[in-house]
Amino acid sequence: MGAGAIHSAEDARRLARRRLPWMVFDYIDGAAGQETGAARNRAALDAITLRPRILRDVSQRSLAVRIFGAEADRPFGIAPMGMCNLAAPGADLMLARLAARYRVPHGVSTVASTPLETILEAAEGYAWFQLYFSGDGTGTFKLAERARAAGYQTLVLTVDVPEVGRRPRELRHGFKMPFRIGPRQFVDFALHPRWSLTTLLKGKPVMANFQMEGYDFDRTESRARATWDTLARLRDLWPGKLVIKGVLDVEDARALVAAGVDAIQVSSHGARQLEAAPTPIEMLAKIRAALGPEFPVFYDSGLRSGEDILKALSMGADFVFLGRILQFAIAAKGESGLTQLWQAISDELSIAMAQTGRHSLDRHNHQIC
């Protein structure tokens, strides 16, 4: 692989920055406020060290783990991300095919660019539906019922967006969903002709789950009415696994366990919501300590490498999810770029396991310590 190949997440980001319109890159890359929260997340991950161990037979290593009783070929899956087809046409389905190939969950966003039924089929069932509570909840519960009818087994309720965080990079470009093209955007797109010709000729990306009659969505609509009663209603309605994503507080985590959820996902929404939030990697360790070793705890936010993944697993995560770096890989080199980055991260993780004397990623056999 030559100079244009993807050997790391930073390679993917660098190539994507060159190829995407500024507005789209900043939408994917941006964080809340002055982005000090994102910087603190990175600093907290960088401050964690792994323990090198020597003279252990690590010639046979497995990256497989179990998640909700099923075997997954990697300990990392695909976080729900809205409007992925802005990265490249067909991005949602590229991610779905990747999930099927490695038997890992693909988080399907409420605001995906492809209908939830189509993604589930392409993912061969390896997909979880992510839900935002919005407005008075009428549309939210209809979407949950639609996901259930489609065959989704796991629902992920994202709870850290009572209001959409202010991300100045987005605001400066006038980024909106549904996608709108005005004079400024037109100039931006004209200066990035490769993206414009491939993406806009396919039709501008839409929020596909709301193209059906009776499903409306306003990204700016307040999500602030969600309460513990909302959660109880959803728990009653949803017969499968229920994951709550966006948890950064020990007291909330304990209350969620008492409310009967099946897993908690520690996340700062990629630092896109509350700039002053605590770093999720530090809260992961505290939440794991509070809940004990058995309750399923997942993690996302800021992961950039296989070593980052091993750090999150060592801090107590059972499984982790990758987000924007996968979009960068797709923007950089399409499906081949996605495959290259996935392989690079797998290699990084496998090598880090060897360096730390691990042959397995099962937390319960004390391989991670």
21 in Cβ contact with 189 (< 8 Å):
yes
End-to-end CA distance of the chain: 36
Q: How far is CA 322 from CA 53, 78, 134, 319, in A?
A: 27, 5, 25, 10
Residue entry with tokens 């209350």: 255
Question: What does 102-129 look like in DSSP terms, one character per residue?
Answer: HT--EEE-TT-SS-HHHHHHHTTT-EEE
The rounded distance, in Å, linking the Cα atoms of 20 and 1 is 22
User: What type of residue is 90?
Assistant: G
Angle at 26 between CA 24 and CA 29, to 5 degrees: 110
Question: What does 35-97 look like in DSSP terms, one character per residue?
Answer: SHHHHHHHHHHHH-------S---SS----EEETTEEESSSEEE---TTGGGTSTTHHHHHHH
Return the SS3 of 153: coil
Q: Of 319, 322, 287, 285, which Cα lies nearest the Cα of 302?
A: 322
Q: Is 192 a catalytic residue?
A: no
Of 106, 269, 364, 366, which is the active-site residue?
A: 269
The rounded distance, in Å, linking the Cα atoms of 159 and 265 is 10
Close Cβ partners of 90 (under 8 Å, ≥ 6 residues apart)? 335
- Pure H helices in 221-323: 228-237, 250-258, 280-291, 306-314
Angle at 220 between CA 90 and CA 30, to 5 degrees: 60
The rounded distance, in Å, linking the Cα atoms of 156 and 130 is 4
147 in Cβ contact with 14 (< 8 Å):
no
The rounded distance, in Å, linking the Cα atoms of 34 and 271 is 11
Catalytic residues: 269
